[in-house]
Amino acid sequence: MEKIIVKNTCIEIPNYVFGDCPKLEKSLSIWDDGKHRYVAIGYDYNESTDTLYIPRGLDIKYVANLLNRVIEYDRDNRFRPNIANISLLTKPRDMDQVKGIRFLSGECEYEYSKNFSQKVLTLPPGIGKTYITIASLSILRERAVIITHLDRIGSQWIESMKNFTKIDENDIYDIKGSKDIDKLFKKYEENNSLPYKLYFINHGTIHSYCSKNGWDKIDELFRIMGVGIKVYDEAHLNFSNILLTDFHSNVKRTFYLTATFRRSDPKQQKVFDLAFKNVIKFGIEKISEQRKHLNYLVYKFNTHPSIGDELSLKSKRGFKVLAYFSYVIKKNNFYFGIQYLINSFDKLEGKILVLVGTIEACEFLYDKFCKEYNDKKVTKVHSKAKVDRDEAFNGDLIVSTPQSFGTGVDISDLRICINTVPYSSTVTAEQVSGRLRPINDVDNSVYVEMVDVGFDQVNKMYKKRKKYLIDKCDKSFIIKERL
């Protein structure tokens, strides 16, 4: 009788001919309006070996019954992770962190989970997911690889490792590209071992290397690195890459970290939920009530678009955000609104961040701010700006695109975020507002959204996220434009 093979982070189905089980394939696919067909996002199929790979989080018995196969658990004990002793310098600051550490390391009330191969840690910003993970690594004493979506997030992790532990800089290997991976393979061939305790790599590097060399290479890489733990930071991002990495590697333990364990695309959410259905989670419901440290301010203005303007910004895929910014930067009340808000917050201590949708809009506001606010350090952050990003995020008044601002980026002393970018997803609302950390135990930060009520689509997007933000924040206010 044919079998399904249950591994640490995937279910492998050998001798599977594509189309054998349309129900299973369809459940892990989404409908693509442009291609007019279902597109796989939750499985991988190897035609040359007739092997189907699906997420480990699916109901194993259900899959076995659906395919009329027996279940076989992978007992490959040939690979043993290398021991990595990392001494922790700081203690947990509260019970929230203590519980998180116990969950990941499988101790005390979470001892039952010690041998679980996958765990989701989903906690609100400010709890200390990075510290919890680092403390857990020191307890588990196995080499680890931290996978991030941006190099600078990896740099933040490295700084945290240095601050929280006694780890030597020589024990850390930061993989910046495919050449660094080649160097690791060469060094392993020469010495039959690698000396590092902790590795960092981003999704882009993994995808680039494996697309060129084959996805089986990722398992080979993790094996020579000797890692027993892999950690995905901001695990709600790069869903496809996470699955491919999980399908083609067999690391003993995998931790998925995020403040928002869901997708912004409703179509993908169905597959996302299915992929992690049976993965144990520790999250917001396990955490003591957090103080609401945000005020939510909505600034409504009207650029009075013509019917032609409204039609030109509509598409089958929704509102044309990029085209909107080419339009709106030419409207005086757009800049006047931003100026009014900045001036209103002038007496509050802390940095101000303004988010716009395009590089053109970023440059437009940067030039304006430099002339208008001589008393402030004005900085800009976007993909074409030739600036040191860490230095740019140290400005008093920062203008950035959402892409360059990035999920997971920490900006110290950020007090005000003025978001001018139209959107509807509550996931985006959580992630962007979540960058505003508590200032202290009393004062609130302010998350501001500018809503151009002249556009019906912009209004509809605002209404979709409004209730979520009102519920999340301490106080909510609406003001209309000042002309």
Could you tell me the pTM of the whole model? 0.81
Q: By 3-state DSSP, what share of the chain in percent is helix, strand and coil, each rounded to 5?
A: 40, 25, 40
User: Residues spanned by CATH 3.40.50.10810 within the chain?
Assistant: 95-286
For residues 267 and 291, what is the distance between their CA atoms, to the nearest angstrom?
33
CATH annotation of 95-286: 3.40.50.10810
**CB contact set of 14 (below 8 Å; sequence gap of 6+):** 2, 3, 5, 49, 50, 51
Predicted local distance difference test score (pLDDT) of residue 288 = 46
For residues 432 and 355, what is the distance between their CA atoms, to the nearest angstrom?
10
3 state SS of 119 = strand
Phi-psi group of 315: left, alpha or beta (phi > 0 → left; psi -120 to 50 → alpha; rest → beta): beta
CATH architecture, domain defined by 294-480? 3-Layer(aba) Sandwich (3.40)
* Nearest one of 116, 175, 160, 171 to 140, comparing CA atoms: 116
* Nearest one of 142, 148, 96, 155 to 121, comparing CA atoms: 96
pLDDT tens, the chain, 483 aa long = 899 999 999 999 999 999 999 999 999 999 888 788 899 999 999 999 999 999 999 999 999 999 999 999 987 665 778 898 999 999 999 998 999 999 999 999 999 998 899 999 998 877 899 999 999 999 999 999 999 998 888 889 999 999 999 999 999 999 999 999 999 999 999 999 999 999 999 999 999 999 999 999 999 999 999 999 999 999 988 999 999 999 999 999 999 999 888 887 888 999 999 999 999 999 866 544 566 889 999 999 999 999 999 999 998 888 999 999 999 999 999 999 999 999 999 888 899 999 999 999 999 999 999 999 999 999 998 888 877 767 778 889 999 998 887 655 668 789 999 999 999 998 889 888 888 877 766 678 999 999 999 999 999 999 999 999 999 898 999 998 765
